[in-house]
Structure 1
Amino acid sequence: MTVRVLYIDIDTLRSDHLGCYGYHRNTTPNIDALARDAVRFDNVYASDVPCLPSRTALITGRFGIVNGVVNHGGTAAQPRIEGPARGFFSRNARRSWATQFYNAGWNTASLSSFPFRHSATWWNHGFMEAMNLMRNMGLEQAHEVLPHALDWLERRGRADRWFFHVHLWDPHTPYIVPAEYGNPFEGDPVPAWHDEAVRERNWGLAGPHSAQEPWGFKPDEWGTPPPRQPWNLAGPDEVKAVFDGYDVGVRYADDAVGTLLNKLADLGVLDDTAVLISSDHGEAFGELGVYADHQAADEPTCHIPSVLRWPGLAPRAYRGLHYHLDVAATLLGLAGLRVPTDWDGISVADELRAGTEAGRDHLVLSQGAWSCQRSVRWGDHLYVETYHDGYHGHWPDSMLFDVANDPHETTDLATTTPAVAAEGQAIMQAWVDDQLSRNAVTDPLDTVRAEGGPLHTRGHLPAYLDRLRETGRAHWADVLLARHPAEAGTTAGAPPFGGSL
């Protein structure tokens, strides 16, 4: 029985930018080598995005619609209050992913600034050691994280029965890998799908992190940009710069993965230590007009890698459709631990041992921090409903994509194949109705809208309407003004940080 688990949590890691998932650039040689001896989950999606909702679902084992967290601020950035039923220990403390290891006598530790950055103290439930590296609002780089991770492994790594979570931020926007690291992809082209026609089409669109504002609501949202992230995407060189900036962050994190694996080897425990590499969400690079951020409940934002090397499991590609909290449940199952009965995550440990598959029929996904969206992923398709567009005026109320053949969401099929869109809508509505009635809760996305919309858009619209008119996009200003008349007259609620903080 494996009694050591290292969970390397690489922030903002989209699946199709890893070599083991088919990327043409050599971004992840260490992860790729691990994947050759691992189970590679090809269809894992974060149930709720971005950062705070995703990790809250993961640690609690429950969907955002149940645990209450779908936003980065407001009521829906806090888990639901249990009320009179709460015991000495809260439900989230008792049912936490880490608590299951702790209750079984494992040594548990988390090395992450995430709980501090997002005021998410519930992440630490069940971790005997919670190490915070809060030096730059959660944008610590791998060279700052590694000394602490290596120290912990030196002290604890040879022992049995430990679960260690190490959080690496390097692919997260802004892209700030040290300049001296260079650019391993200077001679590599960007992905072929993103040609000049895509850039030109996106250039005329509106919204935070759009082609003319890839930093937020204006090019200088963060002041002077670092060299790896351009002011705007005015041409092919700037497009390449933003792709390179992200991919260098992925490669920098991958180097850290290699260092951690080498440390396990030096300690003599690599072969009998389970290693999981995954993420909280992905990143968009032109999909739906968004660049260098994670603003929709769509394919590039919700589809995440999950590579699990578990001693004794045969390496394979597992193609079943799953939530990220299913992977958490599976780790418990493989470790011989019980999955809490009130978790939404399900274990496929038995299927992995037997060499079979047991994916879900469909997944329902949400976004509430940059926009308000819910989507359903089933078969070849992704159906998306938008309840607040996050000031992306070109997003219609409903969209449909054949993501099996169009993963970059270039062609909306909602009007040309209405029967398929209706199928997706029916699946989604049935799921929402079931979740709300079975758990006796209200929809937290309704709460987000009632409180003025997603956190990262609040208060920005008046100034953004002016910018749109100044940059030849008055049409989109008119669209947004018509859609959000109340928000166009207030700056109240603007978040204290720009960009993705």
Structure 2
Amino acid sequence: MRILYLDIDTLRPDHLGCYGYHRDTSPNLDRIAAEGVRFDNCYTSDAPCLPSRSALMTGTFGIHNGVINHDGFNADFRPQGRSRGFRSQLSFDTLPAYLKTAGGLRTVYIGGFAERHSSFPYYAGFREIIDTGMGGMESAEHVTPSVMKWLDDNGANDNWYLHVNYWDPHTPYRAPEEFGNPFADQPLPAWITPELIAQQRQTQVGPHGILDINMYDDKENPRFPRQPGKVENMADARRVIDGYDCGVRYVDGHVGQLLDKLAALGVLDDLVIIVSSDHGENLGEIGMWSEHGTADHITCRIPMIIRWPGKQAGTAEDGLHYNIDLLPTLADLIGKPPRKSWEGQSFAAAVDKGAATGHDELILSQCCHGCQRSVRWDNWLYIRTYHDFFHLFPREMLFDLSADPHEQRDLAAERPDICREAAYRYLNWHDAMMATQPEGYYHDPLWEELANGGPCHAHNHLAKYCQRLEESGREWAIPLLRERHPEEK
């Protein structure tokens, strides 16, 4: 058995052709989807980058494994405690460790993720690691040569798992200048309008907002001309959307190079290919631009495409799934028992037989920019905010995703009945999570973050941001922010 995992950072499903996007961003990824199963409602349990991949690799929620932030108390896995033997669970239960020990596969990683976040337990279970050396600032041309060399040397062998990490859709949007812009004459997504831009400019504040895309200011980096520092008009919005889409199309071309190499090696026909991401990218939704700093539908929804020769092909499944469901799914598909530590739910029946699978609801978390937990069920997304990342988000937000997939109309005030149902679903999940905390742990790490300075990208930044607001003519928001965040200096 051979498995290729294409881990493409910050990849929004709805900006791929196979998920219905009107631009031709992804012909090679679309080809993979046409030969496999496309999961339309897969979400990361914990956003963004480090929490998401920590959840994926261990098959556990951040509220249990402890990795919910990008710095401080909860950017590292919780120590296992007395149940730890000579080796910890990381030696057996992670995605690569399981495929190595239970599946007998040679497990290989090519990319730069662990260096970016000093998350070296992320490597647990890989027999071979090729660090591309730029800590997430790589473009595809820095990654693909290492993949090609590895395939030349090993691709024709049997029994391997190759995990390739590409970064190109992630900010800063980095497709090389010579790539050009294949979307220059193509329409923007219809929901992005001059009226939307004008409304956000007048009423919304916050880091990575419409006037502060560079988090706390509007500075631009001349090394990355595809990304503006603010959006003042439709031309600026085009720079954002085209910059992101060019990143997607550029990495898709490199995926095509890998597919051609695998075909030349004679292994493509029986190769398992998984395509996914750590999170999406807000491109104007709920006032966030070129970032993934919320627990909303756009940030947390990820592509999940599984091409498994001999099983379902050219199908789609719309059940609700987590990224942590992948580990028990792989266990079922390779015919091995799952690990007891995993918290996901297998969707192998969808890959194998086209059966309907999925959860009744999903609970989604974000504790790096702000602190939010969300409930996703039926057509609804309910967001509860504990730290607003200086965006002045209300405590509760509610969106009907069937009518409003870009989250433009908050229905919380109109539908308190749905908010109560969401709170009930969340409380049941939270009770279950607290009742099953790992040995020696008795608290929710979200509350620990709030008690220790707040999420990574917000703590100790309010004074600087208030100065920015004053300089840019948005003084109206300063007293509101200071009232909401009296603890911030």
* TM-score interval, normalised by the smaller of the two chains: over 0.9
Greater CA deviation, 434-443 or 367-376? 434-443
Greater CA deviation, 347-356 or 252-261? 347-356
Residue type at the aligned position of 2:19: Y
Q: CA deviation at 1:338?
A: 2.5
Name the residue aligned to 1:377.
376
Name the residue aligned to 2:93.
95
> Does residue 460 in structure 1 map to residue 456 in structure 2?
no
For residue 156 of structure 2, give the secondary structure of its aligned residue in structure 1.
coil
Q: CA deviation at 1:93?
A: 2.6
TM-superposition CA deviations, 1:26-63 (whole Å, max 9, x none): 00011111211110001100000000000000000101
| Number of residue pairs the alignment of both structures matches | 483
Name the residue aligned to 2:407.
409
Q: CA deviation at 1:334?
A: 1.3
CA distance in 1, matches of 2:412, 2:90: 39
TM-superposition CA deviations, 1:353-375 (whole Å, max 9, x none): 22211211000000011110000
> Does residue 8 in structure 1 map to residue 6 in structure 2?
yes
**In the alignment, which of 33, 57, 60 is matched to residue 58 of structure 2?**
60
CA distance in 2, matches of 1:354, 1:17: 28
For residue 153 of structure 1, give the secondary structure of its aligned residue in structure 2.
helix
CA distance in 1, matches of 2:436, 2:225: 50
Q: CA deviation at 1:223?
A: 4.4
Name the residue aligned to 1:128.
127
CA distance in 1, matches of 2:222, 2:351: 49
Counterpart mapping for 1:46-445 below 5 A: 46-103=44-101, 104-135=103-134, 137-204=135-202, 205-220=204-219, 223-224=221-222, 226-315=224-313, 316-393=315-392, 395-439=393-437, 441-445=442-446
For residue 456 of structure 1, give the secondary structure of its aligned residue in structure 2.
coil
Greater CA deviation, 149-158 or 368-377? 149-158
Name the residue aligned to 2:474.
473
Residue type at the aligned position of 1:462: A
Q: CA deviation at 1:213?
A: 0.8
TM-superposition CA deviations, 1:281-300 (whole Å, max 9, x none): 00001111000000100011
TM-score, length-scaled by structure 1: 0.95
Q: CA deviation at 1:225?
A: 6.0
For residue 92 of structure 2, give the secondary structure of its aligned residue in structure 1.
helix
For residue 476 of structure 2, give the secondary structure of its aligned residue in structure 1.
helix
TM-superposition CA deviations, 1:242-294 (whole Å, max 9, x none): 10000000001111111111111010000000001110000001111000000
Contact 1:11–1:167 under 8 Å retained in 2: yes
Contact 1:210–1:289 under 8 Å retained in 2: yes
User: Alpha carbon RMSD of aligned pairs, Å?
Assistant: 1.2
TM-superposition CA deviations, 1:63-106 (whole Å, max 9, x none): 11111111101111111112222111112232111111111321
Greater CA deviation, 172-181 or 92-101? 92-101
Residue type at the aligned position of 1:120: S
CA distance in 2, matches of 1:430, 1:454: 25
TM-superposition CA deviations, 1:443-479 (whole Å, max 9, x none): 1111111111110112221111011122221121111
CA distance in 2, matches of 1:154, 1:360: 41
Contact 2:138–2:168 under 8 Å retained in 1: yes
Contact 1:362–1:377 under 8 Å retained in 2: yes
Greater CA deviation, 240-249 or 456-465? 456-465
Q: CA deviation at 1:433?
A: 1.0
TM-superposition CA deviations, 1:172-203 (whole Å, max 9, x none): 00111110100010001110011111111111
Contact 1:43–1:319 under 8 Å retained in 2: yes
CA distance in 2, matches of 1:223, 1:33: 35
For residue 271 of structure 1, give the secondary structure of its aligned residue in structure 2.
coil
Contact 1:225–1:231 under 8 Å retained in 2: no
Contact 1:264–1:270 under 8 Å retained in 2: yes
Structure 2: 5+ residue stretches without partners: none
Gap change, CA 1:113 and 1:417, over 3 Å in 2: same
Residue type at the aligned position of 2:140: A
For residue 457 of structure 2, give the secondary structure of its aligned residue in structure 1.
helix
Residue type at the aligned position of 1:251: R
Contact 2:7–2:165 under 8 Å retained in 1: yes
For residue 364 of structure 1, give the secondary structure of its aligned residue in structure 2.
strand
Residue type at the aligned position of 1:291: W
Greater CA deviation, 371-380 or 196-205? 196-205
CA distance in 2, matches of 1:480, 1:296: 18
Structure 1: 5+ residue stretches without partners: 490-501
4+ long deviations beyond 3 Å:
222-225
Contact 1:100–1:337 under 8 Å retained in 2: no
TM-superposition CA deviations, 1:429-452 (whole Å, max 9, x none): 110111111225411111111111
CA distance in 2, matches of 1:268, 1:380: 44
